[in-house]
Amino acid sequence: MTHPCITFSDLTLGYDSHPAVHHLDGVVETGTLLAVVGGNGSGKSTLMKAIVGMLRPMGGYCTVSPGTRIAYLPQQSELDRSFPAQVRELVALGLWPKRGLLGRHRPEDKELVGKALMAVGLTGFEKRPIDTLSGGQFQRALFARVLVQDADLILLDEPFNAIDTKTVTDLVTLIQRWHGEGRTVLVVVHDLDLVREIFPEALLLAQRPVVWGDAREALSAENLLRARQFQESWDEAAPWCEPQDDVERAARSADLPGSGRSDSVVGRTQRGVA
């Protein structure tokens, strides 16, 4: 008995008719800790945006199981760090799903914010203006907000960029804690050693799914080389993607190794071809 959290079905995402993620099929089971890996421009952030619902698919669909509470930490935040807010106010934004527009913040909410700040090592920073935080402290504060959000599905887009090793270690501990609590966590990561060490499962993207499965197997030298060959293939005058390409895609999907889920991936694609 499986509980799909996210289902991709022949999902194609992109901008101006050029795909950034091409024909992705698969299921992310509830409770999965998945690393999304790939070079710059391989479609990782695009995929995250589609899962949150901020980007409409060009083809196929991406469904998140109904009632799932999502927390999303984008790579390029539009957060205004010059805004006159204190750390506790930034973290308390995470109460939105619980309290909404009008719900009064209760004493236990304040306690929750305090606990979250403690968990990320920012106790005592409650009243600090956010424009005085360092990059690492700021990232910790954003993780505290995710903690407060208490989400079922957590999407982190390159959360370790420009973050020192101590902070990375602390934040990874939090991610493992979320995984342990049965939450579904997708993390875009560039540090392949970190992926092999921490993540049970990885999806390697190169504007199309290269491989999806056990992290150590997925990140083999051979797969990484394949990903690099696919990469940077943007062509202004690229031909339109025709249905017969599906045959080729089915063959490619059949390569997807990994856990039990990939059987269903292949099955789905073959049905699509038939």
For residues 95 and 198, which CB has a smaller minimum distance to another protein in the complex? 95
C-beta of 70: minimal distance to another protein in Å? Answer: 7
| Count of helices and strands (H, E) across the chain | 11, 9
For residues 117 and 206, which CB has a smaller minimum distance to another protein in the complex? 117
C-beta of 130: minimal distance to another protein in Å? Answer: 8
C-beta of 46: minimal distance to another protein in Å? Answer: 15
With tokens 């993540």, the residue in question is 199
> Tokens at residue 214, please?
């056990």
C-beta of 250: minimal distance to another protein in Å? Answer: 34
Torsion of the alpha carbons at 107, 111, 117 and 119, rounded to the nearest 10: -160
> Tokens at residue 132, please?
């005085």
C-beta of 94: minimal distance to another protein in Å? Answer: 8
For residues 54 and 118, which CB has a smaller minimum distance to another protein in the complex? 54
Residues lying near another protein in the complex (CB under 8 A): 52, 54, 70-72, 74, 77-80, 83-86, 89-90, 93, 96-97, 100-102, 129, 145, 149
Q: Give the contacts of 154 (CB within 8 A, at least 6 positions apart).
A: 70, 71, 73, 146, 178, 183, 184, 185, 186
C-beta of 4: minimal distance to another protein in Å? Answer: 21
End-to-end C-alpha distance for the chain, whole angstroms: 27
For residues 86 and 231, which CB has a smaller minimum distance to another protein in the complex? 86
Residue 75, beta-bridge partner list:
none
For residues 92 and 198, which CB has a smaller minimum distance to another protein in the complex? 92
Q: Which helix (H) or strand (E) holds 215?
A: helix 215-218
Closest CA to 197 of 175, 223, 226, 164: 175
C-beta of 72: minimal distance to another protein in Å? Answer: 4
| C-alpha dist (Å) from residue 125 to 27, 122, 196 | 40, 5, 34
For residues 47 and 215, which CB has a smaller minimum distance to another protein in the complex? 47
For residues 96 and 234, which CB has a smaller minimum distance to another protein in the complex? 96
Rounded Cα–Cα distance for residues 124 and 42 (Å): 40
Rounded Cα–Cα distance for residues 199 and 218 (Å): 11
